[in-house]
Amino acid sequence: MKIKVLANDGISQAGIDLLSQNNYEVITDNVEQEKLIDYINENNISCLLVRSATKVRKDIIDTCKELKLIGRGGVGMDNIDVDYAKEKGLHVINTPAASSHSVAELVFSHLFSCVRFLHDSNRNMPLDGDSNFKTLKKNYSKGKELKGKTMGIIGFGRIGQETAKIALGIGMNVLYTDKFVGKTQINLNLANDKKISFDLESSDMTELLKNSDFVSLHVPAQKSYVIGKNEFNLMKTGAGLINAARGGVVDEKSLIESLDSGKLAFAGVDTFENEPKPSVKLLMHPKVSLTPHIGAATNEAQDRIGIELANQIMTLVKE
C-alpha cells in the first residue's frame, strides 16, 4: 500500500512527480482546519505538509495516530508545535534554504519600486496620466539610486545573507545585526563564473539603525516587536523599511506614524500583523509598497521546496 502524503497547502508538481515515482500517494485537497483531524484519520495520512495557512497543534498531533511526519514548505515553523511533535516521535521537517533567494529578490523589488516611486506612480498613472502627465512627472522626478547607499539587515541567516549578496552586487554598503552570526564571509557567484568575497562583521542594533539608509528584517516570529517607536526614532530621517519576514515583528501603528511624520520615506510590506486581514490604514497608505505574503512564491522556489520535501520524506518515512 502506498504511503499517503497530504499537501494541505499545496506542493509543486516537481515534488508530486518525485514522490509519485517512488510509490507515494500525494493528495492536494485543501482541507479546512476544523475538518483536518477527521480527514487525516479517515484517509490514513502518514505525512502532512503545510505552508503558513494550516496550523499543526497538539490536537492534531495527539489525535492522528497514523501521522509520522509533519513538513513545512518554507522556513518559519511557528504554525507547528515542533517540540511537542518531536516528543511524540514525529519527524518535523522544513526547507530553510529553498526560498531564500526568492525572498531576497522580493525585498529588492520593493526597494527599487519605492526609491523611484513606482508603487505610487502605478496607482496614479492610470487615473491621471493622460490629464496630468507633467504634474506626475514632477512629483516622481526626485528618486534615489541604491548604489552607494547603506543597507541594514536585521537577522543574518540564509535570507539575510542572500539579501546582502544582492545589495553588495549593486554597489551598496551592508550592515547587519544578528545574535548568532559574528564575523562572516559573503561569497558572490556572478555571471561567467566570476566570484568575489566580502568579509563582514555584525553591528549592534543601534549602530545599524542610525547608519542605514534602508532597513530590511529577516527574523522569525517574535513575542514582541523588533521595530517599534523607539527603533523608528533611531533611524535616519528619510530612511526606508522593508518587512518580508513575519507579521508582528514591526509595530504597524508606529510605522504609520513614522510615515505620516516624514521620519520614514517609505515602507515595503509583504507580511502583516493581522493576516489575512491586514490593517486598512496600512493598505491604503500612499508611502507603502504592498504584496500579500509572497516572498517564497516563485516557480523556482516552489520547485526547490517540493523536491526538498520529497527527498526528506523518502528518507524518513518508508513502507
Active site positions, annotated: 246, 275, 293
Positions of E strands within 111-220? 150-154, 173-177, 183-189, 195-201, 214-217
Q: Which of 203, 215, 280, 273 is nearest to 241 (CA)?
A: 215
- Give the max Cα distance, the chain: 69
Asked if residue 70 lies in contact with residue 259, where contact means CB atoms within 8 angstroms, the answer is: no
Query: Grid coordinates representing 218?
Result: 529577516
Instruction: Name residues whose C-beta falls within 8 Å of residue 193's C-beta, 6 or more positions apart in sequence.
Output: none
* Three-point CA angle 161, 163, 165, nearest 5°: 70
DSSP state of 236: P
Alpha carbon distance 5, 10 (integer Å)? 11
Query: Grid coordinates representing 297?
Result: 512564491
Helix (H) or strand (E) holding 49: strand 47-50
**Residues, the chain, total?**
319
Alpha carbon distance 207, 101 (integer Å)? 26
Instruction: Give burial (CB, 10 Å; 0-12/13-18/19+) of 84.
Output: middle
Alpha carbon distance 296, 106 (integer Å)? 9
Count CA atoms closer than 13 A to 70's CA, side-chain side: 27
